[in-house]
Structure 1
Amino acid sequence: MGLEAAGWSVAYANDIDPVKRDQYDHHFGDTGDHFELGDVHNIDPASVPAVQLATASFPCTDLSVAGGRAGIRAGESSAFWGFVQVLRGMGDRKPPLVMLENVVGFLSSHGGKDFVEAMLALNELGYSVDPLVLDAKWFVPQSRPRLFVVAAQAPAIPVTGLLATQTRPAALVHAIMSARDVKWRLSDHPSPPRRSVLTLADILDDLSDDSPEWWPRERAEYFLNQLSPRHLAVAKEMMKGKSWSYGTAFRRVRPQPNGRKRSMAELRTDGVAGCLRTPKGGSGRQILFRAGKGRYSVRLLTPRECARLMGADDFNVSGSLNEALFGFGDAVCVPAITWLAENVLPVRPIAAETKPRSRAVQ
């Protein structure tokens, strides 16, 4: 969706999850002509059409702290190597541009070795690489920092000095300057917005007080009792307001002074939602807290609200709540991708003069 907004069209798509394929079909229509369901490691490169851009958002499971940091060679995150295998198998047909997306933790996985290994793999295929960080909160009211890598079949440009910027924070600058063997080609792009013009309140459904989405009083009180003294004080202050104010929360298991662990609800009230996650184990469901007029209400964010937090306002939400949450928890912020396409992709589509839309695989 983000690339389409910038004039690209999809020529081929792949995912291993049949539920995500169904979600894709429900939104885009019958996609049997270009969607290949299956493990990326098993894809025949000959089945992938020649295009100008290939994108890969491979699983972060083994790169994040929550996933145990097994690394890019382990488990689901090894899908990156399946993608590389497809590119290699395409030979002279491989696209001039590649774009990767993953969590910022990719930079520090295995002491930074995983990131460097991935960049060198792209170099080996003839690509020079340009990494940068974008946070969804610059475009929508959701905190979601992500690492992107734009790779181009173009000569490398030596990096002799680099200062931290909005899109290249200190951790990324350190990773770049420490990897002298990598062939970099850093773009000189404009700064993205500093913050979305929308706030959390702007993307919420207008639900009546008697909507079944709101939790029963007993469950809402249990949530309130899970707040720390500091967060509880914030919640009580919100209740004193003459109008509604909103916050979001996740439950996390935290150690207590007595040495035991307890499930705690951690409240965020800056007008920005926390990072949407897949609801594994139940703790990944984001909670909405509404307070004011001397009272409060609690519920989960709805699938439609999650779609808006990803900048996919009109996405055809279908299936169960958990299926929708899994889809959006794994998704990429739509306007962030549009910004990348318009400001960072280093070449215009090769066929731009003869075809109104360029083509991509994902």
Structure 2
Amino acid sequence: MKLFKCTHCGQLLFFENGFCERCKYPLGFVSQQLQLLPLEVAGPDTFRIYNQGPFLYRYCANHQYGVCNWLVADGSQTPYCKACTLNRTIPNLSKAEYLQRWRVIEVAKHRLVYTLRRMKLPLVSKTTDPDKGLSFDFLADENPGHSPRILTGHSRGLITINIAEADDIEREMARRAMDEPYRTVLGHFRHEVGHYYWDQLIDHSDHLTACRELFGDERQNYAEALKQHYRKGPARGWNQHFISAYASAHPWEDWAETWAHYMHILDTLETAYDFGLSVHPRIIEERTILSSEVKIDPYDPENFEMLISLWLPLCFAMNSLNRSMGHSDLYPFVIPPLVMQKLSFIHRVCYEARVV
């Protein structure tokens, strides 16, 4: 995620901020500009962007719940922003704990949409395009702790998220039960949207044959492959071919897991770029593979090798910092050569799919 600055007073801002801590101006995210900007009140529920002319905006309708700070042009046919128009179902807000969980989920979803916009990928709601659009259902178990449970997953452009994932304790219990080194709400979104973009960018495309050569043939029985994975676990030596154990379950899961890691890399590098970070270990006299200066916007290069050369030293430094605080590695994964090829393939597909 990039850094934002209040154009009224210069204060640094977080993506989720609703007002500037220094000048107290209300803030709104303008999706067309991908900028968080200070606002001036223009009338009842309408605003102008500070120092940007007469155009009027309103907050997204979900702003009233404290889950969205994005703007909608005054006079828009929809009361929802570009991110919230993707919602098909939200939790029952009469339950206070559901509202809190929804807030956590919306923070992650808005960050997902920001990254997809930075990647310049096609992104429309199912309300606009029922066949190729994307939508979200955020659901709660009817009888928590008992079957049947709401399963997080993707089906034909509809991503379902069990809102229990927004609870730190519930998510940690699931992480331990599934023996996962990493599990976050944002990670779920990135994984599931990977399934969506497999349908959009790979299926019935010129990339399908090359994708099968790298990730395997997705026509093998998906349900049976998952049963075998959960019954027997990953095959010995899986970490030489896959980014995670779950990626080894089926080619679709390999694609989605690798896609999620590709998004992890892009977003983290953008943060490093905006902070002007560089990594040059003092213990090493000459610059080596563990040295890098993040001087390029990671969404610009066509060459993936350039990105990974920046990522690996940064990853080593991040993990070292986490260990200094007594935490486990921030990025607890090793990227073997075959996974590098898969990441490079995803980068190439995304680069070619850019919407100008």
TM-score, normalising length: structure 2: 0.26
Tell me which protein shows more strand as a share of its residues.
1
Tell me which protein shows more helix as a share of its residues.
2
**More relative contact order, 1 or 2 (CA 8 Å, 6+ apart):** 1
